[in-house]
Amino acid sequence: MKFPTTLVQKHYHSPLGPIILVASEQALVGAWFDDQDHLPAELQGQSAWLNAPEHPVLRHASRQLKEYFEGQRKAFELPLDLGFGTAFQQSVWQALLKIPFGHTCCYADVACAIARPKAMRAVGAAVGRNPLSLIVPCHRVLGADGSLTGYAGGLERKTYLLQLEGGQNPQEALL
């Protein structure tokens, strides 16, 4: 994915470590843990984006993330721009947005939801490249047998998020 240099960023300090939030004028385009896999080139080394902590979209995203981590929010209500992926990736990311809080599914379910039932591996690759980690809930996708499978932010974070959404004490996930 190639992002324009006109975007702005803000660091949000979550219980799982820093999250880099990135926005255009109107929408959130990225939310990455600062050490996760598949960071865009613009975040490797010195960032190409200006720091803009007072940007309205970034402020709203920070507030909603705080509410989510405090257990007060089950759905994000933010303008999102998923247009920086391929058409296939965008279809997968749109399907992820439909997985309800506290629920999980497997890669085959996502493949069927986008009418590509044999594309499970491609779905897995698209899930891994999700630019809006956590907000587009890729952590809710599990292996066919219910096992925890890859998460670009790390399996400890995935476990924490699933426990947070399941009403269990997420602190136990980090022990």
Catalytically active residues, by annotation: 138
Name the residue among 170, 165, 157 with its Cα closest to residue 103. 165
Query: What span, in angstroms and rounded, lies between the C-alpha atoms of 52 and 55?
Result: 6
Give every CB contact of residue 20 below 8 A, 6+ residues apart in sequence: 9, 10, 11, 12, 30, 31, 32, 33, 34, 43
